[in-house]
Amino acid sequence: MNVTATIVFVLLFVFVTIVGFLAARWRAADLSHLHEWGLAGRRFGTFVTWFLLGGDLYTAYTFVAVPALIFGGGAIGFFAVPYTIMIYPILYLFFPRLWRLARDGGHITTADIVEGLYHDRWLALAIALTGLLATMPYIALQLIGMAVVIGGLGFHAQGWLADLPLIIAFLILAAFTYTSGLRAPALIAVVKDTLIYLAVFAAIIVVPWELGGFSAIFAKIPAAKLLLPAPPPASTGAFSAYGSLALGSAIALFLYPHSMTAILSSSSGEVIRRNASILPAYSFLLGLLALLGFMAAAWGVDKMPAFHDGFAAFGPNFAIPALFLAAFPSWFVGIAFAAIAIGALVPAAIMSIAAANLFTRNIWKAFVERACPPEREAAIAKFVSLVVKAGALVFIIALPQRYAIELQLLGGVWISQTAPALLLASHCPRLFSGPGLLLGWAAGMAAGTAMAAAQGFQSAVYPLHLAGYTLPGYAALYALALNLAVALVLSPFTHRAGARRGRGGVAAGPLSRARAQSRRGPRPLPVPPPGRRAPRARLSGPAATPPRPRR
Amino acid sequence: MDKPVRSGLRRWVLIVPFIAILDVPVYNRLEPELFGLPFFYWYQLAWILIAALLIFSLHRSERSAEDETR
CA A191 to mean position of chain CA atoms: 20
Element containing residue A474 per DSSP (H, E):
strand A469-474
Distance of alpha carbon A309 from alpha carbon A65, whole angstroms: 18
DSSP A105: H
> CA A360, CA A368: separation in Å to the nearest integer?
10
Is A493 near chain B, with CB under 8 Å? no
- Span B13-42, average pLDDT: 86
What ipTM describes this predicted complex? Answer: 0.87
- A208 with A332: CB under 8 angstroms? no
- Please state the domain extents for chain B: 15-41
pLDDT band at B37 (very low <50, low <70, confident <90, very high): confident
Q: Which chain A residues contact residue B38 at CB under 8 A?
A: 218, 226-227
Q: Does A239 touch chain B (CB under 8 A)?
A: yes
Closest Cβ opposite residue A277 in set B30, B38, B56: B56
DSSP string, A382-410: HHHHHHHHHHHHHHHHHS-HHHHHHHHHH
**Per-domain residue ranges of chain A:** 3-231+251-401, 428-523
Cα A432 from Cα B26, distance rounded (Å) = 37
Instruction: List, as ranges, residues 240-259 from A with C-beta within 8 Å of B.
Output: 240, 242-243, 246-247
Q: Residue B48 and residue A84: Cβ atoms within 8 Å?
A: yes
SS (H, E, C) A301-368: HHHCHHHHHHHHHHHHHHHHHHHHHHHCCHHHHHHHHHHHHHHHHHHHHHHHHHHHHHHHHHHHHHHH
User: How far apart are the C-alpha atoms of A538 and A103, rounded to whole Å?
Assistant: 10
Residue A101 sits at the chain B interface (C-beta within 8 Å): no
Tell me if B21 and A243 make a contact (CB, 8 A cut-off).
Answer: yes
CA dihedral sign of residues A277, A281, A286, A291:
positive
CA distances, A521 to each of A124, A423, A510, A514, A530 (Å)? 16, 19, 19, 11, 27
| CA gap A454, A373 in Å, rounded | 46
Say if A429 is an interface residue toward chain B (CB within 8 Å): no
Give CA angle at A112 (A449, A138), nearest 5°: 40
CB contact under 8 A, B55 and A277: yes
B interface with A, Cβ–Cβ < 8 A, is: 1-2, 11, 14-15, 17-18, 21-22, 24-25, 28-30, 33, 35-38, 40-41, 44-45, 47-49, 51-56, 58-59, 62, 66, 69-70
**So what's the pLDDT on residue A521?**
44
Give the pLDDT of residue A157. 65
Q: Which pLDDT value is given to residue A445?
A: 92
Task: Say whether B59 and A277 touch across the interface (CB within 8 A).
Answer: yes
Rounded distance between C-alpha atoms, residue A433 and residue A424, angstroms? 12
Tens-digit pLDDT string for chain A (551 aa): 788 888 888 888 888 888 888 887 777 777 778 778 878 778 888 888 888 888 888 888 888 888 888 888 888 888 889 999 999 999 998 899 888 888 888 888 888 888 888 888 889 999 999 999 888 888 888 888 888 888 888 776 666 677 788 888 888 888 888 888 888 888 888 888 888 889 888 988 888 888 888 888 888 888 888 888 888 887 788 888 888 888 988 898 899 999 988 888 888 888 888 888 888 888 888 898 889 999 998 888 888 888 888 888 888 888 888 999 888 888 998 898 888 888 888 888 889 889 998 998 888 888 887 877 888 888 888 888 888 888 888 887 887 777 777 787 888 899 999 999 888 888 888 888 888 889 999 999 999 989 888 888 888 888 888 888 888 888 889 999 999 999 898 888 876 544 444 433 333 333 434 444 444 444 444 444 444 444 443 334 334 444 444 44
The answer to whether A287 faces chain B, any CB pair under 8 Å, is yes
- The nearest CA of chain A is from the CA of B10 a distance in Å of 12
Cα gap A176→A166, rounded to integer Å: 16
d(CA B27, CA A242) in angstroms, rounded, equals 12
Number of residues written out for chain B: 70
Distance CA(A270)–CA(A276), nearest Å, equals: 10
Angle (CA) A187 A188 A189, round 5° = 90
pLDDT of residue B9: 80
How far, in Å, CA of A359 to CA of A382, rounded?
A: 11
Query: What number of other Cβ atoms are within 10 A of residue A488's Cβ?
Result: 16
Closest CA to A403 of A413, A395, A391: A395
pTM over 0.90? The answer is no
- Tell me the sheet residues that pair with A44: A266
A169-A327-A282 Cα angle (round to 5): 60
B66·A239 Cβ contact <8 A = no
- Quick check: A228 contacting B, CB < 8 Å? yes
Q: Residue B53: its pLDDT value, please? A: 92
Q: What is the pLDDT of residue A119?
A: 86
The CATH-assigned architecture of domain A3-231+251-401 is Up-down Bundle (1.20)
Contacts of A519 (CB under 8 A, 6+ apart): A499, A502, A503
Residue A89: predicted pLDDT: 92
Q: Is B1 close to A81, i.e. CB distance below 8 A?
A: no
